[in-house]
Amino acid sequence: MNKPLLIIFTKNPVAGRVKTRLAASTSPDFALEIYQRLRKHTMLVVKQVDTDVAVWYSDHIPDNDIFSSCRAHLYLQKDGNLGEKMLEAFTEGFREGFERIVLIGTDCPELNAKIITSALNALNSHEVVIGPAKDGGYYLIGMRTLLPELFTDITWSTASVLCETEEKLKQQGTNYTLLPVLSDVDTLEDLLNIENGLP
């Protein structure tokens, strides 16, 4: 069946708990407003992609949320670092029978449906697909078989995440491909550098 799945990682939108680096340069309320706009953009993009959707929340599963309109399956992220959280989400997706799985966050205003579709299509001919972020991390990762090693022994939330991930892929001879480099928004500088402004 070659069933595809799109996983979305999102934080529950609460002032003071989202975009903390941006909040430190502005205010918690401003950072929350920006995060809400990023979440809305992500939701609108996802609705244009023909795939099953799973939304994984950071703190609790809300009764009503902007992603409710995506008819998504809802999950709660486990405790642990980002790698452990992502590994659990991929493990659950493969356990449910999906055969091409792509995971995104809600921090990338340049993300669009074409890029997500390209990522899903790339998994027809590659084991792994990665969307590099300008800050040295990635805004998207996808795979067609579970590779737990990509989520362990990585220095998360640093400029070396992509480099460390690629090194593991090369060491194992894994067939992978890269998508266009896009910007995440984590700091005030990131926000000011978005070429066309926020959606």
Does residue 198 form part of some domain?
no
Q: How many domains does the chain have?
A: 1
Q: Is 61 within the bounds of a domain?
A: yes
pLDDT band at 197 (very low <50, low <70, confident <90, very high): confident
Please give the radius of gyration of the chain, using alpha carbons only, rounded to the nearest integer: 16
In a domain, 41, yes or no: yes
Look at residue 199 and tell me if it is in a domain: no
CA pair distance 161, 138, nearest whole angstrom: 7
Domain limits for position 38? 4-193
Query: What percentage of the chain exceeds 70 in pLDDT?
Result: 98
What span, in angstroms and rounded, lies between the C-alpha atoms of 144 and 148? 12
* CATH number of the domain within which 23 lies: 3.90.550.10
> Across the chain, what does the average pLDDT equal?
95
User: pLDDT digit string (tens) for 106-115?
Assistant: 999 999 999 9
Q: Is the pLDDT of residue 1 over 80?
A: no
Is 124 among the domain residues? yes
| pLDDT tens-place string over residues 17-41 | 999 999 999 999 999 999 999 999 9
The pTM of the whole model exceeds 0.75: yes
Q: What integer pLDDT is reported at residue 98 of this predicted model?
A: 96
The DSSP annotation for the chain comes to ---EEEEEEE----TTTSSHHHHHHS-HHHHHHHHHHHHHHHHHHHTTS-SEEEEEESS---SS-GGGGGT-EEEEPPSS-HHHHHHHHHHHHHHTT-SEEEEE-S--TT--HHHHHHHHHHTTT-SEEEEEBTTSSEEEEEESS--GGGGSS--TTSTTHHHHHHHHHHHTT--EEE---B----SHHHHHH-TT---
Q: Render pLDDT for 45-101 as a digit per residue (tens, 0 to 9).
A: 999 999 999 999 999 999 999 998 888 999 999 999 999 999 999 999 999 999 999
